[in-house]
A and B are shown apart, each in its own frame.
Chain A
Amino acid sequence: MKVTTGPVLILSVVACLAVLPIHETGLVISAALTADAASAGGAPLGSPDFRPTPQRPVGWRGDWTGRFPGATPPIQWSRRVKGITSEIKYQADKPSGEPGDDSRLLEYFTIKEWLVAGPYAVEDPATEIDKDFLGGQTKIEPANDAKAGHSTWKPLRVGIDTQSTHYHNEGTCGDLNVDFVYVFGNLPQSGMAKAPGMLDNKVAYAHTYIHSPSAGEVMLRINYTAAALRVFLNDQAVTVKRGEGVKVALEKGWNRLWVKVASAEAAVPEGQNAWVSRWRFAAYLEPVPPISYESKNIAWMTRLTGRSMSQPIVVGEQIYLGSGMTDLMCIDKKTGKVLWLRSNTPYDAMTEEQRAAVPGIKEKIEPLVTRLNALNEEAVQAINAAVSPVGLSSNQQAELDKTIKAKTDAERAVHLAFRAIDRKKYPPMYENEVSASNSTPLSDGQYVYWVCGGGMKGPGAQVIACFNLGGKRVWSRHDPSLGSPEHGNHISPNLVDGKLIYAATGTLIAFDAKAGLELWRNCPADWQNSGHGSTSPLVVKIGDASAIIEMRYIHRASDGTVICPSNLDIWGVLTPIVENGVMFNPCRWHGFKDPVSFVGVKLPGNVDAGAKTQTVLALNGKEITMPARVDGPIFMVASPLYVDGVVYSIEMGGGLAAVDTLAKRSLYRQYLDGYNRFNRFLYGVAASPTLAGKNIYITDDAGYTHIIQPGPQPVILGRNVIENIHVSGLGGNPCKQECFYTSAFFEGKCMYLRGEEYLYCIGQE
Chain B
Amino acid sequence: MIQAMKSLLLLLAAGALAGAERPVGWRGDGSGQYPSADPVTKWSAKENVLWKTEVGAGSSSPIAVGGRVLVTAEPDLLICLDAETGRELWRKAHKVSDFSAALNAKTPMRPNQYGDATPTPLSDGKRVWVFFNTGIVACYDLNGKARWMNWYDVRPTTNYGRTASPVLVGERLLVHFGALVCLDAATGKLLWKNEDAKATYGTPAPARIGDVDVLITPGGHAVRLADGKTLAADLGHCMYTSPVVQGRMVYFVDTSISAVQLPDKPGDQFEGKELWFEDLSGEFYASPIVHGGRIYAVDRSANLHVIDASTGKPVLTKALELPPAGRSESPNIYPSLCLAGKHLFVGNDAGESLLIEPGDKCTVVGANSLPGGSGGTPAFSDKCIFLRGGKFLYCVGRQPVPGPSH
Contact = CB atoms under 8 A, between A and B. Distances in A.
Interface of A: 167-168, 173, 175, 223-227, 242-243, 265, 268-272, 274, 278, 423-424, 428, 431, 456-459, 485-486, 526-528, 531-532, 589, 591-593, 632, 680
Interface in B364-406: 371-375, 389-391
Interface in B190-248: 200, 219, 234, 237, 239
Kindly name the residue among A265, A270, A632 whose own CB sees the greatest number of chain B CB atoms within 10 A.
Answer: A270
Contact of B219 (A223, A458, A486, A593): A458
A167 B326 contact: no
Given A274-B57, A632-B113, A459 B375 contact: no
Contact of A680 (B57, B155, B329, B350): B329
A535 to B, nearest CB: 13
Given A271-B334, A592-B112, A223 B237 contact: no
A531 B114 CA distance: 16
B327 A225 contact: yes
Contact of A527 (B155, B326, B330, B373): B155
Nearest to B116: A592
27 contacts: A167-B114, A168-B114, A173-B329, A175-B328, A227-B326, A268-B390, A269-B390, A270-B349, A270-B350, A270-B372, A270-B373, A274-B57, A423-B277, A424-B234, A428-B255, A457-B254, A458-B219, A458-B237, A459-B237, A486-B239, A526-B107, A531-B159, A589-B110, A591-B111, A592-B111, A632-B113, A680-B330
A457 B326 contact: no
Contacts of A532: 159
B7 interface: no
Contacts of B350: 268, 270-271
A527 B156 contact: yes
B332 interface: yes
Contacts of B234: 424
B266 interface: no
A271 B328 contact: no
Contacts of B57: 269, 272, 274
Nearest to A227: B326
Most buried by B among A271, A528, A592, A632: A271
B334 A456 contact: no
Contacts of A632: 113
B328 A243 contact: yes
Nearest to A427: B237
Contacts of A592: 110-113
B119 interface: no
B328 A223 contact: yes
Contacts of B390: 268-269
Contact of A458 (B113, B159, B254, B374): B254
Interface size class, chain B: 35 or more
Contacts of A428: 255
B113 A278 contact: no
Given A269-B57, A270-B349, A271-B349, A278 B110 contact: no
Contacts of A593: 111
Contacts of B328: 173, 175, 223-225, 242-243
Contacts of B200: 458
A610 to B, nearest CB: 15
Contacts of A271: 332, 334, 349-350, 373-375
Contacts of B125: none
Contacts of A527: 155-158, 178
B59 interface: yes
B239 A272 contact: no
A425 B278 CA distance: 17
B358 interface: no
Nearest to B325: A242
Contacts of B237: 457-459
A591 B111 CA distance: 7
A431 B200 CA distance: 18
B254 A272 contact: no
B115 interface: yes
Contacts of B111: 591-593
Given A173-B329, A272-B113, A527-B157, 18 more contacts: A167-B113, A167-B114, A168-B114, A175-B328, A224-B328, A225-B326, A227-B326, A269-B373, A270-B349, A271-B375, A272-B375, A424-B234, A457-B254, A458-B239, A527-B155, A531-B159, A592-B111, A680-B330
A271 B374 CA distance: 5
Interface of B: 57, 59, 107, 110-115, 155-159, 178, 200, 219, 234, 237, 239, 254-255, 277, 326-330, 332, 334, 349-350, 371-375, 389-391
Contacts of A242: 328
7 residue pairs, one from A and one from B, having the closest CB atoms: A269-B390, A457-B239, A269-B372, A592-B113, A271-B349, A458-B237, A527-B157
A65 to B, nearest CB: 28
Q: Chain A binding site: helix, strand, loop or mixed by DSSP?
A: loop
Given A272-B59, A486-B239, A527-B157, A591 B332 contact: no
Q: Which of B113, B157, B237, B349 is packed against the most chain A CB atoms within 10 Å?
A: B113
Nearest to B159: A486
A696 to B, nearest CB: 30
Nearest to B390: A269
A148 B294 CA distance: 59
Contact of A457 (B255, B277, B373, B391): B255
Contacts of A589: 110
B172 to A, nearest CB: 25
B184 to A, nearest CB: 26
Nearest to B240: A457
B37 to A, nearest CB: 26
Contacts of A227: 326
Nearest to A681: B330
Nearest to B156: A527
B187 to A, nearest CB: 28
A270 B57 CA distance: 10
Nearest to A224: B328
Nearest to B157: A527
Contacts of A456: 255
A526 B157 CA distance: 8
Contacts of A270: 349-350, 372-373
Contacts of A272: 57, 59, 113-115, 375
Nearest to B234: A424
Contacts of A458: 200, 219, 237, 239, 254
A589 B113 CA distance: 12
A301 B166 CA distance: 55
A171 to B, nearest CB: 8
A256 B114 CA distance: 43
B34 to A, nearest CB: 25
Contacts of B332: 271
Contact of B326 (A278, A424, A531, A591): A278
A582 B277 CA distance: 50
A269 B370 CA distance: 11
Q: Which of B234, B371, B390 has the most CB of A within 10 A?
A: B390
A531 B178 CA distance: 15
A269 B254 CA distance: 28
A223 B328 CA distance: 7
A274 B56 CA distance: 10
A528 B156 CA distance: 9
Contacts of A424: 234
Nearest to A273: B57
Contacts of B157: 527
A550 to B, nearest CB: 17
A480 to B, nearest CB: 11
A649 B375 CA distance: 34
A528 B110 CA distance: 12
A191 to B, nearest CB: 16
A287 to B, nearest CB: 22
Contacts of B373: 269-271
B344 to A, nearest CB: 22
A271 B114 CA distance: 9
A411 to B, nearest CB: 15
